[in-house]
Structures are given as structure tokens and as C-alpha cells.
Amino acid sequence: MKIVLWRRPDDERLAALRAAFPDIEFAWPTEEHPLVEVIADADAYIGWLGPEEFAAARRLRWVQSHSAGVEWLQRVPALVESDVIVTNARGAHADTIAEHLFAMLLYFTRDLGYFNRQKQARQWDRGGGAARLTALKGLTMGIVGLGNIGRAVAQRARAFGMEVVAVDVQPVEAPGVSAVWGPEGLPDLMRRSDVVSICCPLTPETRGMIGADLLALLKPTAYLMIVSRGGIVDEAALLTALKERRLAGAGIDVFETEPLPPESPFWDLDNVIITPHISAASRLTADLLWQIIHENIGRFQRGEPLINVVDKRRGF
């Protein structure tokens, strides 16, 4: 059996793979041997695939995405229509992404940018600074997408004493969430929330879902946090709303075009925090990802059902 990885793991993780699965050949692309060549006789692939690589993979039976999002499937319709199983890494990234979201939110509500500027100016502005600050307790957190990331955000919001409401394509009860609506509840969520967190996957149905009409419903004191995928929020409409101060600010970790071009006007806005699609980055995330990979390799080798199987047509 041969399994191809998207890149060579570090020595520690590679040794662990080989110790756990001594009968499996592990390979990865190099400059001399690109993925389209290495994957030709692979039984499984761990990573993201393009159309050319999938066409070359004559023996492929399983693809393990190293991310929770699988919007890349939209570029490989032949894979979607095939019998090849696709699994994702949902559950590995959620806790760290939720922490990152609250780091951005607290930067705004505690106005840490202002106090950093005061520090640089060597000014102790306790009186004027206090008037700039907001408490989270009693505010409403609106979550778009109540999967693993959304539930992790909800858990932390409740710990801060926030009320939590959510919208999901599959509305189900979740601990600490006072109301969960289907997509038809988006307008109410936008009107009601002090913070709106975009945590849903990017699919054909969610692309451009948050447009100018919904952004116009936000309170002028509201914050928008985008941490799942770019392309769900209409960025042109969001840019206009931010420039016109129709919301208080946005924390954006993901954009439709990445890297964000240097000429993007988002860089110039003082009411935006930008991080480079890094909200999931932590040792915890990496460890959980490799736990999922190990679990599914073992199941695949034994012919058992895999975990985190994706509905390829729905995109999650």
C-alpha cells in the first residue's frame, strides 16, 4: 500500500508514521518528482488535489484533506463524481480558531491598539482610555455555521457571559446557544447581534451569502469576525460598510484572494484587523490533525469505515 503526503513531515512525525504503519510506503512530491508523478500509483493521498493530479492517480481510493474546509473539491468535479472517499480534518482546528477570533474581538473591545499607541507616546491616559472600552458580558454573539468552529466560539462566548444565537443549514440544538435558525434566520441574526462570527464552510450555497443587504442590518457598534473561509462575505460590500463606519470593525483572517494583494484597500482601514489565514496555527492543531491522519490510515489499512467522511456534493 502506498500513501502520498502533501509534503515531507518533520522527522518526528515521519518516524511515528513509519513505526505505526511499517507495511505502508509513504511518499511525497519533490522538485525532481512532482505530485502528478508520485501520485500515479498511490492508494491514498493526504492533502489537497487539483484536476491534473487526480487524473493521474489511477489507483486512488481515499483522499484525506489536511484542512476542515474542502472547497477545493469544487475545482475537481471528477473527484466529486468518483467513488473515491474524501475525509477532512474537522475537529483539529476549532479550538485554536475560536481563541484567535476572541483575540481579535478583545483587541477591539478593549481598544488595545489605542493603548499601544499611548505606550509608544509614553502617555498614561486612564480617564480618556476608560471611555473607549466595552465589556462582552450581556452582548449577543451571532454565529453563522454551527459546526466544530461555531460550537467552539459559542462555548467561549458563553464563558464571557454573552448570549449566543446561530444560523446553520442543519439547525440543531447546541449547548449554550439560545436559538438556532436555518438560513432564513440570517436577517434576524444580523440585526440582533453585537458580534457576528462567520464560521461556515465555503460552498456554492454560501459563496457571497453575506452581501450588502445583510451587512446593512448590522448595528453601527457591531463587529464582524471572518475565520472560516473568504468568499462568504461580499468583500466589496464589506469594504464600503467599513469605510462608511456602518459597523465598528472587522477581524478578518481569510480573504477570497490570498495572499491579500498589497494594493488592497483593506490594508489601509483602521477599523480592520488582518491576519494571514493563520487562525488555526498552533501545536495543538498540528497534534490533533496528525491524530486524525493516524486514525484514518489505520482504518483504511484495516478496511474499516473512516472518520470525518465528507459529503462531496454538499462540500462539507
* pLDDT tens digits, one per residue of 264-303: 999 999 999 999 999 999 999 999 999 999 999 999 999 9
Task: Provide the 3-class DSSP secondary structure of residue 273.
Answer: strand
295 catalytic per annotation: no
CA 267 – CA 207 distance, rounded (Å): 23
Q: pLDDT of 56-77, one tens digit each?
A: 999 999 999 999 999 999 999 9
Of 37, 81, 205, 258, catalytic = 258
Residues of the chain with CATH 3.40.50.720: 2-90+282-302, 94-274
Of 156, 163, 229, 235, catalytic = 229
Of 277, 294, 295, 299, catalytic = 277
CA-closest candidate to residue 165, choices 188, 134, 199: 188
CA 105 – CA 96 distance, rounded (Å): 14
Partnered with residue 86 across adjacent β-strands are: 63
What per-residue confidence (pLDDT) applies to 173? 83
What per-residue confidence (pLDDT) applies to 244? 98
> Which secondary-structure segment (H or E) carries 77?
helix 77-81
What per-residue confidence (pLDDT) applies to 107? 98
CATH topology of domain 2-90+282-302: Rossmann fold (3.40.50)
Mean pLDDT score of the chain: 97
DSSP string, 223-259: EEEE-S-TTSB-HHHHHHHHHTTSSSEEEES--SSSS
CA 30 – CA 38 distance, rounded (Å): 9
What per-residue confidence (pLDDT) applies to 2? 98
What per-residue confidence (pLDDT) applies to 171? 80
What per-residue confidence (pLDDT) applies to 160? 98
The DSSP secondary-structure symbol of 260 reads: P
Question: 242 CB contacts (<8 Å, ≥6 apart)?
Answer: 249, 250, 269, 271, 272
CA 262 – CA 138 distance, rounded (Å): 38
Q: CA separation (Å) from 155 to 49, 73, 221, 242?
A: 34, 30, 23, 28
192 catalytic per annotation: no
* pLDDT exceeds cutoff 90 at 105: yes
The answer to whether 301 and 293 have CB atoms below 8 angstroms apart is: no
Mean pLDDT of 113-130: 93
* pLDDT exceeds cutoff 90 at 115: yes
Report the CATH number of the 94-274 domain: 3.40.50.720
Question: 269 CB contacts (<8 Å, ≥6 apart)?
Answer: 239, 242, 243
The pTM of the full predicted model, rounded to 2 decimals, is 0.95
Mean pLDDT of 100-115: 97
Mean pLDDT of 20-38: 98
CA 270 – CA 274 distance, rounded (Å): 10
229 catalytic per annotation: yes
Q: pLDDT of 182-209, one tens digit each?
A: 999 999 999 999 999 999 999 999 999 9
Q: pLDDT of 124-160, one tens digit each?
A: 999 888 989 999 999 999 999 999 999 999 999 999 9
